[in-house]
Every structure is written in C-alpha cells, then in structure tokens.
Structure 1
Amino acid sequence: MSPIAPPRGTRDLLPAEAPAWRWFLETHAAVAGRHGYQLIDTPVFEATELFARGVGSGTDIVDKEMYTFVDRGGRSMTLRPEGTAPVLRAVLGAHLEQQRRPVRVYYAMAMFRYDRPQAGRQREFHQVGVEVIGERDPCYDAEVIEVAWRFMAELRIDGVELQLNSLGDSDDRLRYRAALVAYYTPLRESLCEDCQRRLDVNPLRLLDCKKDAKYNENAPLIGDHLSEASREYFDSVARHLDDAGIPYTRNQRLVRGLDYYAHTAFEFWHRSLQGAQNALGGGGRYDGLADELGFAATPGVGYALGIERLLTVAADQGVAPAPQPPAQLVICTTGGASAAEGRRLARELRNRTSVVADLTDRRLEKKLRDADRLGALLALLVGLDEGLVLRNLRTGVQQVVSADTVLDAVSAELLQAAQGPTA
C-alpha cells in the first residue's frame, strides 16, 4: 500500500518554515493595527451565489477555478476563492457600517482556486488583506495602498513596484467595453478560445490574457474613455500618493481579475517574479459590490497580498527569519531517580526559556548528540555524581551548578549568546 500524498496544489507548513510565517503575519497585523484596522475572519466556505454574483460571470475564477460542492442539504457551497466578497458580507451583515464609518478591517485567510499550480500560487494559497468599507473618498484608496507599502517596507523587501490605473465608473466602462469590442471583433478568429468567450461576456478580461498579449499592445486605452469626474478622482488618489512619497507607474493596461472593481485599481509587482506571476498582490475600489450582494449601496476599497509569493521574495533577499530550534535547552537525565528531578527542573526552567526533557534510558552520549542536532544551545545533565552540569553545546564549556543557581546560570548563558562573542 503506497503512502498517501497531499492533494496536488497543496503543501504542508513544516516547522522550519513556521518562524517566517509567524513573522509575516505578526508584521502585517502590527502595521494594519497602527492604521486602525481590526482583525476579521470569515468561514472557509460560503454560498456559491456570493462569489457568482460578487466576483462575476465571465471571470476565470467563477467559470473555471472555484471549488464548488453540494452539501447534504442540497445547497451549493464554494470554498473561498478570494476575501473581499465574504468580508464585505460579514461587515454589512453585522451592520458594522451603521456603528462607525468607515469600517477598517484586516484579515489573513486561506483561499482555494482550481488552477494549474504555479510559482507562489497553489490551489490552496494564503492572503493577507485590508478593507475600508463605508466611505468613498480618494484618501481611502491612497490609505490602503500606503498600508501595503509600509508593510512591505517593514518586511525590508526591496524592488516592489506599484502599478496604478483607473477603471472609471460604470458609464466609463460601458464606453470602454464598446471600444474593446469594436477593436477585438475583427480579430476574433485569431484569439484563443478563452478570449473568444470573453469578447462576448466580459471584454475587459481580454487585457488579462497572456496568450493574446500581442493584440493588447494596440488595444484602446481606458484613460481615453474616462469622464472628467473619474479623471479628477484618479488624480486625487495620485496626489495623496505623491504626498506620502510612494512612487507608482500609471499602467493603463492594468485590469483586475474580478468584476467588482471600479475607479482605482492597483497591483504590486516585483522584478524577481517573471511573466504572469510577477504580481505580489493588488486591489482597488469596489463601490458596486454591495449592491450585487443584495445590500444597500456601500462603497469600499482594499487590497490582498499573496503570502507565499511575498515569503519567496523575502527568503530570496535574506530578510525572512531563519528556522529556529524547537528548544534552547535540553535536559538529559542519566537514569534512576534523575527522571523525576529532570521533570521538576524542566517545569521550573520553562519560566526562562524553551526546554525539551529527554528522560529516556538511552546513553548520555546519544542524548547529547540528539540535543546538538536539535539545535539547542544548552544541555543540563541531571543525575551525575558531581551534581547538575550545564553544558554549552556550541563551545563545549560546562559548569557545575546547584538547584539554587541553575536558573541564573541558564539566563547568563542565554544572555551571552544573544550578545554574541566578545572581542
């Protein structure tokens, strides 16, 4: 019988990777918290209608990528493919926008999309994000961009580029849609099968296609179809970013993969990620989404960043934390009554540091080898004739300590290790 492997497009988070994940999540929570955002979470599965209506027909997510199933009650359910629609549902369903406006929330969630696994994106992947719900003002568009920018700066990731565009309002997009249809219709037979379908149901998605990118170079620009009000809104967002010292590139080819975006759209790119997978994440304004979900019209803006891709860049640049040993100190007993003493000392020493107690009957030499392989700094030998012996596994230096002095001795060794070697 062959061993069971994880499903394709999923991966395990192993202990060696955990420090980097915790660092990433804690940093995002801290930066978002300093801007007034509070944690929110939503169920891992939702009614399929939430995403069908919110994300939109004609998008690859709805048409091809959702994990959808019928539950035992005959209801169609879908594993969460993105975070904005469920977060907006949660906020408006709890009437948080009636208590204060805007509502500022942040999240860290697993997402699921049935797609070919690619660099930094599996079928189960993870995102952090923020949403500002309840107000429509360019200052909030700039604010969410600044939160993401400051977050990545706090991670000390270099080489991030902000791509910025405006998708205008619904009238602007109708005019732009007509221009795209007029441009692409004569090219229909040359387009890939997906783009032929997109031409009929969602022409803006044509600009996302990498197979037909050569045709996109001469496609109409949305900036030529924006109203004066939409241009002024975008210019105001840009001025706020200028004031914050955040550089950006105006990219009129940028469209987001979800239907609910309007006005501001943005992505964060990184030069180390090639081709279609160069985006670390992005976001934008989604003032029409609440209507699609059956709530009263409520504006919103936010972003989502891919944890796996950002951690890949952080690791490549050497800024992510290194794997940590499971314990700083290993207690090695030598048999007889020393096991009881070892358990007592372990409980006491865990008030100062992380401790693993090896109370087995194995030979002391093997216990010390295993402690060294574990990556521990110290070993406390219990049950020797001379008493308690504290050994530094890095230097090999050891000292005899008593039950009364062991805590202070361990603390001194840890402090010296933290300060580094002296000159």
Structure 2
Amino acid sequence: MSSTSRTSSPRRVAAAATIGTALESYDFYVYSYFAAFFAGPFFFSALGAAGAQLAAFATIGIAFVVRPIGAVIFGHLGDRLGRRRTLILTVTLMGVATGLVGLLPTGTEWAAMSAVVLVLLRVVQGLSLGGEWGGAILLATEHADARRRPFFASLPQLGSPIGSVAAGGFMLALFFGLGPEAVSAWGWRIPFLVAIPLIAVSLYLRASVDETPVFKALEQRGERQRVPALAAIASQPAAFVVAILTALLGIGSYSLMNTYTMDYGAESLGFDPMQLLLAATIGGLLQFVTVPAFGWLATRIGSPTVVAIGAIGTLLIAFPMYWLLSSATFGFLVTMMLVGGVLPTASWAALGGTMSELFRGRHAYSALSMAYAIAAVISGFIPLVTDALGDATANAWWHPGIVLAVLSVATLVGSLAARSMRKLGDEEADAAQAAPAREPATV
C-alpha cells in the first residue's frame, strides 16, 4: 500500500481535522470561561463591576470581529497554497496566542498593559479561528465519497464540544483540586499554558495527511483563483447569505449557553459557578454521541433538513426552557443543558455538510471561512447583546429566550433556502475523486 493511500484515508483525515479543531476550540473556550469569571476583575476593575464584566465580554467579541479578516487571509492561502498547509499555520497561531495569555501579569500596576496585550492576543486568536473551520470541513469532506460526505463533515463539529468539555473539565479540576483562592491567584494560568505542548499534537496529525483531491485537481488544471474571496462573492452572492443564516444558531447557541448563561445563572439566579460548569460539561459530553448521530442522519435525509429540524426544535423550547430555569434545581439545570444542547446540536452537526455543498471548490476555503466568520461576528456579541437586553428588561426571565428564538428563525430560513440550491461543492469533489480512479493503481 502506498503512503499516499494511507494518509488520504477519509477516517485519518477526519481525525486530523477534528483533533486540530478540538485544540483550537479548547483554546477558545478556556478564554470564554476565564472571561466569565476572571478577566473583568483582573484587567478591567477600574471600570467598576458592571463595566468590567461588559469589557470582559467585549474581549470575546473582539476575536469574533477580526474573524472575517482571518477568513480572507487564510481563505486566500487555503485556495492558493492548499488546505493542509494553511491549517498547520492556523493551529500554530492559536496555540501560541493562548499560551501567552497564561503569562500575563495581573497586579494593579500591570493592569493597563496586560489589558492591551490581552486584546492583541485575542486578535491573533480571532484571525486564526477565521481560517480554521472552513479548512477543517474541506479537509474532511474533499477526501470522502459523496455518500459519506455529510457524516465526515459532522466530525470536525465535534471539536467544539471536545474543546468545551476539556476546558470546562480542566477548570472544574482546578477549582476542586486547588481551591478557588489558588485558582484566582495562579491556577487559572495552567489551562492556557497547556495549549503550548498541545500544538505539537495537532501539528503532527495535520502534517501526516495528504492534500485534498479537489485542491490537487485545481492545481494541476491551473484553475486556482487569483483572488478567491472576490471570485466567491461575485459568483455566488446568494449562497453567502444562505450560509450565514444557516450558521447562526449552531454558533450563536454556544455563545449564549456557554458564556452568557454561565454569568447570568451565577449573578442573577444564584447558581454556584461550579454547578454551572458541571452542567455545561455534562451537556458537552452528550454531544460526543449526538453530533455523529446527526451527521449519520444527514447522510439519509440531507444536511439542510437536519439543520432545519434543529432550528424548529430549538424555537419550540426557547421560552419554556428559560422560564423554568428561573426557579430550577441543579437537576433541572443539567436537564436544561442537555435538552437545550441537543436541539441546536442538530443544526451544528449538519452545518459543515450544508455549507460545503453550496460553494465551488476553486474558492470554497474562502467562501466557507468568510460566511462562517460573518456569522461568528454576529454570534460573538450575543453575550453582550443579551446582557444589555437583560439590563433593559430588569432581567426578565424571557430575555435570553428572545435571542435564542431569533437565532432559530434565522437558521430555519437559511436551511430551507439551502435545500433548493445545487450541490456545487459535491459536484467538484466528485469530479476530483473520479480522476485518480481512472489512473493506473500504484503499489
């Protein structure tokens, strides 16, 4: 068996895409939990309690704001130089930036400088994330045959729950093992510093796989776009709008549940922060089963249909869930995290399959990355917007439900539109995979 056939195995490629995305998600979720509990008091205390919390949430949003820039930069590299090389670069940048957050000084005399450096590191993280997701989806799907493509597209989506569980579990272990005082003093740095050696794992996996057949075919035929981002927008503008709408629930529900609801539950509803972390971690563990299950379902009924099912289900439970949360026990809190996580997960699991079908391979990296990044920009400010809505409504129980319902409706509209569009991405992937099949086999 040739080394090429080994490295091009769809399972091996999907593992490389998934684990790399999981490491990036871990880095991002570590900061999300850090922002919910520590970033405000450590770096923005001069703004007062409310201002510090808003500033902490804003640092989450900053990384989302620059994601479109990262999408253009790394999308260009992915469509010009290759999916594999670009993904190696994105995960390196993310790991280094995350590790440096763990080295920031926190004393009052350092607060202003550390706040500036923190924002700069968040910018680097956002640029990296802008180029990660689209490349991971393409790496997984452009090696797979048409029948299994929706399933393999769902596997990189496991990166988010893996990262969430790893980050939440790490924080729980630190709180229980070291105690809250030690975590506040120095223990919070450990999850950030761990990101540096984890880079080596992802680099090894991504360096061990081959470039995708689609990119190699485009390269051989000389069909790479000079400016793929502009070519994608000019040739497929409607697909961009549909892709952005389709992505809102899958991305936005994570921002709402894992960041805003954590702070809202602790500050307004009186839950123990450790209970919230534990509930979120349990919900994330369930996704290890539900994400591939919904990916398998997408191979049977189509990715856009699975996205629509998730959007309808989430819309139905949005308001009842938050009404019950206002008087919930810990057992119900866990149940809410499970139910409230499963339904948006359907839209999340089938998102990669839906979006990869919309765009042509010659500019697919740029198109997927930009559409996803724009949706992420909107979603990144969901904690801030929901917090402002809570202030305006005196924290009425229904204010997070409004946000979740709006996300659900937007994604439902996008998924229904996606069902009627041609599978351009699938067509080019099929053609690229058929070409090697006609060549003489190598031993």
Same fold (TM over 0.5): no
> TM-score normalized by structure 1?
0.22
- More relative contact order, 1 or 2 (CA 8 Å, 6+ apart): 2
> TM-score normalized by structure 2?
0.21
Instruction: Report which of the two structures shows the higher radius of gyration computed on alpha carbons.
Output: 1
- Structure with the larger strand share: 1
